[in-house]
Each structure stands twice: as C-alpha cells, then as structure tokens.
Amino acid sequence: MFRDFAELCEKVKSTSKKTEKVALVAAFLKNLSDEELKAATTFLTGRVFPRGDPRDVNVGYSTIYKALLEVSGITPYEFQSIYLKYGDLGATAEEILSTKKPKLQQLFKKQLTILDVKNELEKLASITGKGSYDLKSAIIKGLFLDASPIEAKYIVKILTSELRIGLVEGLVEEAIASAFGLSLDKVRSKLLILNDISEVALLAKKGLLEQATLTPLRPISFMLADTAQSPAEIADYFRRQVYAEFKFDGIRSQIHKLGNKVRIFSRRLEDVTESFPDIVEAVKRLKHDLVLDGEILPFKDGKPLPFQLLQRRLHRKYLSREVLEEAPLVFFAYDLLYLDGKPLLDLDLRSRREFLEKVEMEEPLSTSEIYTVASAKEIQELFDRSKQIGFEGLVVKDPLSQYTPGRRGKHWIKLKKELDTLDVVIVAAEYGHGKRAGILSDYIFAVNDNGVLKVIGKAYSGLTDDEMLELSEKLKSLMIEDLGYRVIVKPEIVLEVAFDSIQVSDRHDSGFALRFPRIKRIRFDKSVAEIDTLDKVKEIYMRQKVKL
C-alpha cells in the first residue's frame, strides 16, 4: 500500500542515524513486487521518473494549490496561512486534509497502492496542450480524494521533487545493496552505467546486476577530469607520453544512435535531442550504431563562437529558423563508448580512439584533434595555441585509461586559463531597479560544503537582457518563499561565475566572498550535484595568497 511507503518516509525522517535510515529502507524494499520496487526506489530519490527519462509531469504550485482548494473548500487566505506555517506544500496538504472535511466526495474511496500512484503520475506526464491544466488538476484531485492525509503529503512531495526526509540517493544505493546482499561498489558502479536506480534495484533483486552494461539510447554518467594548475604538474604526474586535446567551451554531450533512432544527452543526463535537429540529421547518416562522447559548440572558420549563441537553443519548445541559422554548430567527438553491439568502456583510450577515427563523419560532426605530449614545454606550447584559437585550455588524457563513468580522477586532467571560475547555485534572488524593476536581476549564490549550501556572493552583471528575463521567469517558478524585495528559490539553476579574487568575509556563512563577481554563463547543462565545493574555494584562496 502507498500508506506503507508514506509511513516509511516518516520513520526515515524521524531518525538522524544513517545506518537506521538504510536499515528501514532495505527492510521495506525486500518485501515489494518487481514493479513496486521500481516505483518505490524512484520515489525515494525524490523523482517521479528515473534520471535520463525525458518525461516530466509539469505540475507546479498553482496546480496543486487549485486541487487542494477545490477538494477541501478552504479559502485562499486559509491556504496561505497554513503554507506560511510550514513552507512546504506536502505538509500543507496533510494539514488541510486532516482538519478540513472534504468538499468533494469519492463515491467509492479506495486504498491507494504504490502502483496506483505511479500510474496516475505517469498520466500527468502524458497530458499536454489545450486544457491540460484542468485535466492535470482533476487527476491530482482524484488522488487527494482517495488519499489519507499522510499519503497526500508524500504524493505532493514526490510531485514537487521535495521529499526532504534526509535520504540522499547514496543512502538508497546502500539500502539496495543491503536488501539484496551486494557490495555498495557494485551497486554504484552499475548505477553510473544504467542511470536508473529502479532498474538497478530490480536487477539486484533478481541477481542479474552483473549483466548490466551500456545500452544505446540510455545515457551513462560522463567520465570527468581532475584539474591541474600548471603544465609542470601534469608532466610530473604522468612522466611519459600522453594525449592532449583542446578544451572546448561548449555543451558536453553524449550522442546515442541505434538504427534510425538518435538521442542526445547533456551532462545532467537530460534529453536535449530536440534542441539540435541539425546534429541529429547528421548522426542519422552515420553507418554505425554507436555512443559518442564529445562537445557541441558554435564554430566557424576554425574558431569557436560565443557560448551564448548555443544557449539560445536550450529549453525552447520551438526552434525558429533564425535560431537554427544564427550560429553553425559542430559536434566534436573525442571518445567512442559503444560500436555496433559492443560496449568499449573496458578498452583503453588508445584503442577507443582507433575505433573512433575509423567512423566516417560529415559536417557538422567531427573527431577532435589529438596531440601527443610528454614535457611541460610541449604542454605549455599547446596550451598557448589553444588560447590563441579561442579555446579554454587543454585536457590531457592517459592513453592507457579505461572509460570510468561518473568518476573524476587523474586519468584525465584539465588545464584552464588564468584564475578558476566557480560553478555555483542560485539560492535567492532580488528584484532590480529602474529598467530592471519587476525582474529578478541580482542573484545570491552558494557552493557545496559537505551537503550544505553556503552562500559565497551575489552577482548582477554578465547576462544579456534576454537571458535575465528568461532567468527571472525560471526563478519565479522555483520560488519557495517570497520576502518582498527578495525571493528564496529552490537551488536548481547553476551559474558559472568569474571573479577578481576571493577574500575572507563574515558577511556570508561560507566565511568567504568573491570580489567583483560576474556571471560568465548560465549552466543549464549542470545540476546542483555538480557545483563547486567550499574546499575548492579555500584552495583558490590559498593559491592566491601564495601569489601575493
């Protein structure tokens, strides 16, 4: 029953001990059917659908608000007073349905199962177009009428991806390992390949997890690069010949082709296929089934164009001819992960590149140039050349390395220009003045300190007027609390910020502040899990002190 799931969530929330959380979830998972197991593990990560699944329920505050008002008969003022007490839509739904006699009644009220909830939420994702708001509201009302108050609480929390029970995805992974007698490393390594925790849980239950492998049209986590501060550091680490490539300032992309089907995934494993119809058509002409790792960027006459031209493609329901033609795009492939029925992850990079270079490509597809370097002098010369062309720097790669999904290590090392930028997440925003009146134009941002977001600054420069308007609307849809001149938002939008220096400051809870921060770009391709850490801030600060 879904009530059992809701009660599990309450128990997990009530304990601060991670071992108890894992034990509670593991015991619960053991007793579920196959389909219940898949739904429950997905719900426990705070999602309706697994990562990489392009479906979206597209249900926000207003739809849930309308459904609760119509079911309960409470006034907007009563709703607002309850919501302000909790600041949480799930808890608000629970109190409303606990204290208010339903205005509407179901003729036959049934006990909800986990699969009932799953099926109704899937219906929400299938509803689009005219009248969709009312249809979605009707489905949610139906769930509320069947649900007990505690069930309604967790239906809302799943819908809004705000589970908030102190159960990070890593603990769900531990629970799966514990429930089915597997090592945590095995569960995590296979999750990085499948990127579907429900599928991992089911295979673990059936004893088939070892068979999980890369399959076209299902994204895997990207291999990541460590950072070096100088060519000498890289040369000293490897002490032999290695590969080097230019570091592109584009969107890291994973392109999958199986028959005539093509899908493109971003770093966040979001399906961005519809944003790049020109790339898709070129991929369809390839003679192989394959999975490519590479970068999409605006590129003309041998040089990269501004990243902002690429960002105009993202998060648009319709791509006009003007948007498609304003900047020619190129996909530079620098790795091949699958070819004609064979996963290549376990091959070394040298072998993967040999296969890649045999794949015949036409514009706008291209294989990245690769160079062989060994000394600090060779690395520096290539780095200088990359800057002259307009690239970000270099990525140096071990030709003997396997492809390790989701892992950041020294098999790949990046060397970037000048002082690092930081990837931060917006946690609050303030309204501007003058021509910016009514627009959220000043952005307060944070870094990650062991799972806690710590504010490190505020920026209001670097975006175009169009970007600012788009960002303002997005932030309003993510609003958690309205303080008048300032809004607190769900931490979801990542910015890449540049700055002159870092200084110690008691103004922010991080203990640091960025001096003259400016927004380099909005990173829609990155998730909050990928933002930089307070440790990195401290590292940059210490390097800066040494230089001074």
What value does the mean pLDDT take over residues 17-26?
Answer: 95
Q: Going by C-beta distance under 8 Å and a sequence separation of 6 or more, which residues neighbour residue 91?
A: 153
> Which residue in 38, 190, 247, 257 is the catalytic one?
247
DSSP string, 35-93: HHHHHHHHHHTT-SS-TT--------HHHHHHHHHHHH---HHHHHHHHHHHS-HHHHH
Question: What whole-number distance in Å separates Cα of residue 406 and Cα of residue 219?
Answer: 11
Q: Going by C-beta distance under 8 Å and a sequence separation of 6 or more, which residues neighbour residue 187?
A: 173, 174, 176, 177, 200, 204, 209
**Tell me: the pLDDT tens digits for 135-188?**
998 999 999 999 999 999 999 999 988 888 988 889 999 999 999 999 999 999
246-250, 322-326, 339-343, 389-393: range with lowest mean pLDDT: 322-326
247 has catalytic annotation: yes
**Tell me: the pLDDT tens digits for 41-56?**
999 999 999 887 878 8
What value does the mean pLDDT take over residues 317-345?
Answer: 85
Binding-site entries for ATP: 245, 252, 267, 295, 408, 414
Binding-site entries: 245, 252, 267, 295, 408, 414
**Tell me: the pLDDT tens digits for 538-547?**
988 876 654 4
Nearest-CA neighbor of 141 among 60, 211, 70? 70
Question: What whole-number distance in Å separates Cα of residue 126 and Cα of residue 132?
Answer: 10
**Tell me: the pLDDT tens digits for 367-411?**
999 999 999 999 999 999 998 998 889 999 999 999 999 988 899
| C-beta of residue 502 within 8 angstroms of C-beta of residue 466 | no
What value does the mean pLDDT take over residues 4-11?
Answer: 96
Which tops the pLDDT comparison, 107 or 278?
278
Nearest-CA neighbor of 251 among 301, 324, 314, 195? 314
Q: Going by C-beta distance under 8 Å and a sequence separation of 6 or more, which residues neighbour residue 33?
A: none
Residue 245 has pLDDT above 70, yes or no: yes
DSSP state of 209: G
Give me the phi and psi of 96, to 5 degrees please.
Answer: -60, -45
CB atoms within 10 A of CB 378: 16
Q: Domains in the chain, ordered, with CATH? A: 47-159 (1.10.3260.10), 224-416 (3.30.470.30), 422-547 (2.40.50.140)
